[in-house]
Amino acid sequence: MHLHEEVTANKADGYKPAIAHRDFKSKNVLLKSDLTACIADFGLALIFQPGKPCGDTHGQVGTRRYMAPEVLEGAINFSRDAFLRIDMYACGLVLWELVSRCTVQEVSR
């Protein structure tokens, strides 16, 4: 399932709300033995229920290095979509770290 997607209930599966992680960073991406990536540490996550406002939430939580500039400047209205975009900014930084810090190594067989 996708983190930000809201999935409606059906006979086989239950309802899954949209979730904003709010502390997405490289240390919170774990690799399984088959090299499948998993997201961890949902301690600061927000769950968005349909038809309900996200409430009075403080947006400046998590790791500063991965926060979007508009969050650091306090120039954003914290709505559901804003929280999801903030996660995507952090995901972009993690992908940038991946491509800029990893090297391809030859494997001899």
**pLDDT means over runs of 10, the chain (109 residues):** 66 76 92 91 85 67 87 81 88 92 73
Is residue 2 within 8 A of residue 91, CB to CB? The reply is no
80 is a domain residue? yes
94 is a domain residue? yes
| DSSP bridge partners of 30 | 38
Q: Which pLDDT belongs to residue 46? A: 86
Catalytic residue check, 56: no
23, 34, 56, 81: the catalytic one is 23
12 is a domain residue? no
pTM here? 0.74
106 is a domain residue? no
Number of separate domains in the chain? 1
Domain that holds residue 40: 18-101
What is the distance of C-alpha 27 from the center of its chain? 12
32 is a domain residue? yes
- CATH (domain of 90): 1.10.510.10
Residue identified by tokens 């709300």 is: 17
